[in-house]
Structure formats: structure tokens, C-alpha cells
Amino acid sequence: MMHPKNISILDYSYHLPEEKIATYPLNPRDNSKLLIFDKGKIKEDVYCNLHQHLPEDTLLVFNNTKVVEARLLFEKITGSTIEIFCLEPSEQYADITTAMLQKEKVFWQCLVGGAKKWKEEWLIKSIEYKQHTIELKAKMVEKRNDYFLIEFCWNNTQLSFAEILHIAGVIPLPPYIKRNTEEKDKETYQTIYAKYDGSVAAPTAGLHFTKNLLQHLAEKNIQTAYVTLHVGAGTFKPVKAATMQEHEMHAEFLNVSKSFIEQLIHYTNKKIVAVGTTSLRTIESLYWIGIKLEIANKNNVEMNDISLTQWEVYELPQNISVQKALNNVLQWMNNHHLQNIITKTQIIIAPNYSLKIADGLITNFHQPQSTLLLLVAAIVGNDWKNIYDYALKNNFRFLSYGDGSLLWGNKGIID
């Protein structure tokens, strides 16, 4: 069995014509096409009929992260513009929520467009808000390998950094949507259940859900549950390495509640479907955190760092049940008096990974040679080629604002 480190990304390529990339979403959202893949067979429908393709009492897991207006444009006296793209908070903050709630000053890891033109110590942007003028200032603290550390400060003691971004920033559409951001993107590039500020990209599988669709699901006794995984810009990071071993996977903050883990345990003998790759990475990460805790318990070691690195899941034993692993997590939370787990996961789900918790995935159609396409291939095997070929030939719309699929997976299969 090939280790995913040895995968060549060139084997996960297909031709995606420009005209297949959706630049705007459909209205209503749940009119988008839905491809259903199960046991090698493909059929199609539309999202508003999703409830007809899920067994009664399925658990659907959604990511309730909220996209923030992460692009800040500073105009210089010369008329040129410097764009600051806020990626994630400085490591001095415990998590994204803590950083988002900072007032008056915050430090953030950012990309900077036009960095060579940044000669002044401070860039200044004036914002009109509720009959007041707020002055937002940015200073370059240091240049690091892939980003700049930027200090932001503002002269309103009442407003958090999240509120400053909402007032002053622009929604960061993905780079493959080749148009300017429009006012309506603030609504359409956000799930209707988005709750916690922190993502720079939408968990796009969830963009298809409407109140009407959620009502249909509830009427069939299909349960909904929520996790939070803040999507970083790394989700668009191209794989340039010859093999995956040389590609560094992006790490993302996840936040799950004790009640959610208890719900997962209750559903281990029923169907669990992740809405989006971020939800899938989150719930699968919980199994491996439980494995790490099992090892620590056996060695009588107190474990404080429960984060997961890129290849760890392929090196850990998988010799305990899902229920045992999740109960380990609950026990650890009780010992530490926690209602929520907040940690980072860097796991890469790629071919030869077998699902531990999820039975299926609802997801959009992803870019060629991307880690998201590897994740799809991990679930459906080489059938990913048939699925994508079908979608291309049958007028499915691709990427963030495009159509999607319900993929039933390989849970419990170990090669």
C-alpha cells in the first residue's frame, strides 16, 4: 500500500475549462445541481431534494465558521494601493476568537500586495462609521518566510478587530473567481448558518443550504450538528512539489463542543455525513486525537498538546473503536474542565486513508492537482475520474460558487 507521502499530484489532474468555473452562485442556492455517487453508480438531482438521498436519522455535520472581510485596502497619498490580506492571528493569541475580540491593537499574519511600495512606518485608512471617523493604522513588524507580521491599531476603544474588518474590509473571493467583489458577495459567499468569525474562505459545500432545505431535512428526522473550523488561505495553496511529502499542508483552528462529541458517539452505528471538506477534517481529527490520548494513557503521560500534524494519522495505530477514541476525548475534556476543544489540525486526507467517523461527504467540485481533490479520491478511490468526467460532460458548475456532490465513502475499509 503506497504511503500518501509518495503520491504524485500529477496523477490527480484533469482539464478544467475556464467556462466551467462558476463566477456567481445560483439563486435560490438550493437549485444547484447535485451529483450522487454510491457504490460506483452516479445519478444527479438538485440540492433542494437532498433529503430524498439521505436515510432517516442521518447526522449532517456543518461548519459554522464565518468568512471575515479579510482584505484591507490602504490608499497612499501617491494614489497607489497597498492590499493587506489577513491570514491568521499571530501565534501570541490562544485562538482566532481571542484575536478577533482584541480592541485597539492586534498582531496578524498577512500577505501584502504592493509591499515594495510600503515606505512609510504606518499606513492609515479613515473609515466613516455611525457618524464617527475611525482611523485604522497598519505597521509592518517583520517579514517572515511566507507572510508579514502586521500590527493594526485603531482609535475606537469599543470596536473589536472583527468589527473593524466588517466595517473596513472586503470579502476575499477565491483567486479563480476572476471578477471584483460585489456588495451581494457579503451575503452569497456566506452560509446561512455562519456564526463564528475567522475564515478567509467559505466552507463552500454549505453555500447550497437554505432555510427551506433545512426544513425538509428536519421533517425527515435528519439531524444537524455544528463544528467550527476556520478556513485559511492555505486551502487554495497549489501543490508544486513532485510528491506530497514535499508539500506542507495548511493547519487550521478547530473548535468542537462536548455535546457534539456525545452526539457523534450516539451516531456511530448510524449514518454521519460531513457537509464540506472542513467538517470532514474536523470529525476525522477527533478520532486521531482519541488515539493519541489512548497512547498517552497507556504510558501514564499527561498530554496537553492535542494538535495533529500532517502525516501523524498514517503513523499512529488504529486499533481502538470510534466510541473508545471519542470517549478518550470526553474524558480528557472532563479532566481539564473544558466544554470545548480548541486546537489545530494539519491532517491531510489522501488516497489510502479510510474514513473513521464519516460515512459520506457533501462537497463541491475542486481544482485539479489540489489537496481537496486528494481528499475526494481518498473517499471514492479512482472513481473520482468518472465523477469529474460526468460532471464536466453534464454541465455541472465547478469550484466555490458551483454545483456539488454527495459522495458515499469507504468507512472502515483498511487496505
Considering the domain boundaries, does residue 264 fall inside one? Answer: yes
Domain extent at residue 12? 4-66+192-408
pLDDT tens-place string over residues 290-301: 999 999 999 998
Residue 233, pLDDT score: 78
Q: How far apart are CA 66 and CA 47, in angstroms?
A: 22
Residues 138 and 229 in one domain: no
Considering the domain boundaries, does residue 301 fall inside one? Answer: yes
Residue 232, pLDDT score: 84
> Which helix H or strand E contains 262, and what residues bound it?
helix 258-266
Residues 198 and 51 in one domain: yes
Contact 282, 326 (CB under 8 A): no
Q: What string of DSSP letters covers 153-215?
A: EES-TT-BHHHHHHHH-B----TTS-S---TTHHHHTS-TT--EEEESS--GGGGG--HHHHH
pLDDT tens-place string over residues 27-39: 999 999 999 999 9
Residue 120, pLDDT score: 85
Please provide the average confidence, as pLDDT, over all residues in the chain: 94
Q: How far apart are CA 396 and CA 404, in angstroms?
A: 8
pLDDT tens-place string over residues 370-380: 999 999 999 99
Q: Which regions of the chain are under pLDDT 50?
A: 413-415
Question: How many residues are present in the chain?
Answer: 415
The domain tally of the chain equals: 2
Residues 296 and 230 in one domain: yes
Residues 165 and 205 in one domain: no
Residue 276, pLDDT score: 97
Q: Which three cell numbers mark 88?
A: 491568521
pLDDT tens-place string over residues 55-103: 999 999 999 999 999 999 999 878 889 999 999 999 999 999 999 999 9
Residues 17 and 107 in one domain: no
Contact 277, 252 (CB under 8 A): no
Considering the domain boundaries, does residue 415 fall inside one? Answer: no
Q: How far apart are CA 364 and CA 135, in angstroms?
A: 40
